[in-house]
Structure 1
């Protein structure tokens, strides 16, 4: 809306209000575009982007492959990759499991005979049978 003045004889009195013609559609389309854009932004924030970048896809196979392994198999693979033995604290770091979970799992594995645990001071050395540190072997045992 705008004010209209009477141009007759130079008078500047106000005659009345008029609504511009043809501009209504522009306002309606503008409001619709803003609402649609807001809806799209809100939907993306709620549902996130489903497209994966190629770099992420190439990095995923390692965690997926490890997710298929049992906890025992994962510990055995760690030991194999560390020459048959490693500290228990390092197993906790590498697996990102809690200390209590690792401790319970290793105790079960030791009871089954699939690993050996050696207490040295305040830490445990975990090893596959036959890969224990030399200091733990008896002098009567033959070394091969």
Structure 2
């Protein structure tokens, strides 16, 4: 008899306890800001083709054509010889927060051709990465 009267009371208390411990949703959750797909252009370079440098350095203008991410972008640069793909070390590029910006390629050897690959990645969204843009650069100086 005691079981018949105590059981409903016990179940009611248990239900109230579990329902009050449930995590409550926020009334106004922060909106999930979606970044625009990152895109850029190299206005002074013929992408996929051969370009000329006049000495051991080459200033390369980069223009981000999409909306620049809030946290900025990271530039990945790879410069290697066209034949053999031997890497040519370059200076580190600081994170970018303005557009357009300039990258200076250095240590270009005379009469050598290099394959230059550039890619941008959002600092706020690891999945927002541009496809690589590749061009070839020949140092025409004879030093």
TM-score (norm 1): 0.29
| Greater RCO structure (CA 8 Å; 6+ sep) | 2
TM-score (norm 2): 0.29
Of Structure 1 and Structure 2, the greater helix share is in: 1
